Structure formats: structure tokens, C-alpha cells
Amino acid sequence: MDFVSQFSFDEIAASLLACLVIRELMILALPDHIAGPGGWLVDTGEEEV
């Protein structure tokens, strides 16, 4: 239990926010076949056929 008490709510919230920001930056910066519709790293939806 002592291990869990080391983390504050603010640290957890900041980590989640950082993950969301990094995901959005990857979607903007990487090509669509990597981070876009049908991408292998970040799939943002269905591929347009």
C-alpha cells in the first residue's frame, strides 16, 4: 500500500494529459498509414475505400 500512496492525483492527471497531447501530436505529425485512418500505430477510424 505504501507504493500506491507515493502518487498524487495531480501526478496521475498530468500523466493522462501528457498521453493525450502526445497522441494528438502523433496524429498531426505522422503519415496516415502510421497514425490515421487504418494506421498501425494510431487508428483514427475506418479507411476510406
Predicted confidence (pLDDT) per residue in 16-40, tens digit: 999 999 999 999 999 999 998 888 9
What pLDDT does 27 receive?
Answer: 92
Distance between CA atoms of residues 25 and 19, nearest Å: 10
Bigger pLDDT: 47 vs 33 = 33
Query: How much is the pTM?
Result: 0.72
